[in-house]
Amino acid sequence: MTEIATYEAPSAPVVTFVGAASIEATARALVDAHKIGTALCRTAFVPKHFQGKPDDAAAAILYGSTINMDPVTALQNVYVIGGKPALYARTMAAIVMSHGHQMWTEEESEGRVTVAGRRKGSDKVERVTWTSEMAQRAGYTSNAKYKSDPRSMLYARASGDVARRIAPDALLGMAHNVEELTVAGEVSEPQRPAAAADRMRAALGSQPAEEPEPETPTAEPDPEPSPDAITSAQQKKMGALMREVGITQRDLALAFVADVIGREVDSRNELTKVEAGRVIDALEADAARADEPVDAEVVADEPLIGGDQ
């Protein structure tokens, strides 16, 4: 008699409610994040790309909380570029080191940067080198910042690679930093409040300047400019210097000016002679690091800061 083996069906998977609980917790957190975002995005303290956008601010706060950022820090550091959350390389390094991991710079020159790191409790050292030749092969050197500030560009690439290698868990597997997405030409750089010198290092956008909207014809003569207003020569020099250091977008130009003079403007015509001089001085200080001197006599085809709008 043939024996027939008894078949036992596998037990059904146990259904848990962890996912549902996570969704409920996220929904509650989103309500609180939206309240905070709504309040903060009405202020000048948050970057311009969050001002007046409470939904975007709430999402940034919520994402920042997953990597242990408080709401204010998240709004200053989290960016969504092409639908991808990203941080600046220096912020990634700060998060990694706050978890007890180690990162350090082994070599730094105009054309070569080596960054190393070691995971907490491990003896293995991860070491990444980026050179100007590597950046050129990757197609990044079309960006003017690789000429005016190559160390910062190469450091951003090397440190971002090391941070993700030694502590992907601290970064929740974040695949990109802001510098990578920007220099790769995917998008222009997001707006961020920073010191004037830092703004220069962050200005990675390689997109052409936006075309100004045509002026509405008018039969009335233009009012006489104030004797204290910015001069035509200052406008031309400012435009040439901004192109030299890689600031080719109106929003970045306006933000840089605001950092220098301590107030926001909608057009370069709102600047006084004294303020324009301060902006030019700040631009020249950064342009001095470039390989070639700035040709201050170049006349802009289009105004970088608002024009006569």
| 199 and 300 share one domain | yes
> What pLDDT shows up at residue 204?
36
What average pLDDT score do residues 36-64 get? 88
- CB–CB of 240/300 below 8 Å? yes
Tokens at 134, concatenated: 């590597």
For tokens 């990757």, the residue is 138
User: Residue 66 is part of which domain span?
Assistant: 18-77
Q: Output the pLDDT for position 290.
A: 52
Q: Are 199 and 283 within one domain?
A: yes
Q: pLDDT higher for 234 or 49? A: 234
Partnered with residue 102 across adjacent β-strands are: 118
137 belongs to a structural domain: yes
Interval 240-265 mean pLDDT: 80
Name the domain count of the chain. 3
CB 308 within 8 A of CB 267: yes
Task: Order the strands of the 102-108 sheet from edge to edge.
Answer: 102-108, 112-118, 125-131
Tokens of 38: 């709504």
175 and 279 share one domain: no
Same domain for 253 and 158, yes or no, is no
Same structural domain, 161 and 204: no
- Look at residue 299 and tell me if it is in a domain: yes
Give tens-digit pLDDT for 60-83: 898 888 888 899 888 888 887 767
- Whether 105 and 199 map to the same domain: the answer is no
- List of E strands, 109-174: 112-118, 125-131
Q: Classify residue 162: in a domain, yes or no.
A: yes
The answer to whether residue 272 sits within a structural domain is yes
Lowest mean pLDDT among 65-69, 187-191, 220-224, 241-245: 187-191
Residues 153 and 173 in one domain: yes
Distance CA 114, CA 130 (A): 6
Tell me the C-alpha distance between 101 and 104, whole Å. 10
CA 74 to CA 50: how far, in whole Å? 11
pLDDT band of 181, cuts 50, 70, 90? low
pLDDT on residue 225: 55
Q: Residue 207 and residue 303: Cα distance in Å, rounded? A: 15
pLDDT in tens, 113-164: 999 999 999 999 999 999 999 988 877 777 677 778 888 889 988 999 999 9
Helix (H, G, I), strand (E, B) or coil at 179: helix
- Judgement on whether residues 108 and 71 belong to the same structural domain of the protein: no
Answer yes or no: do 253 and 141 share one domain.
Answer: no
Residue 157 neighbours by CB under 8 Å, 6+ apart: 89, 113, 128, 130, 135, 179, 180
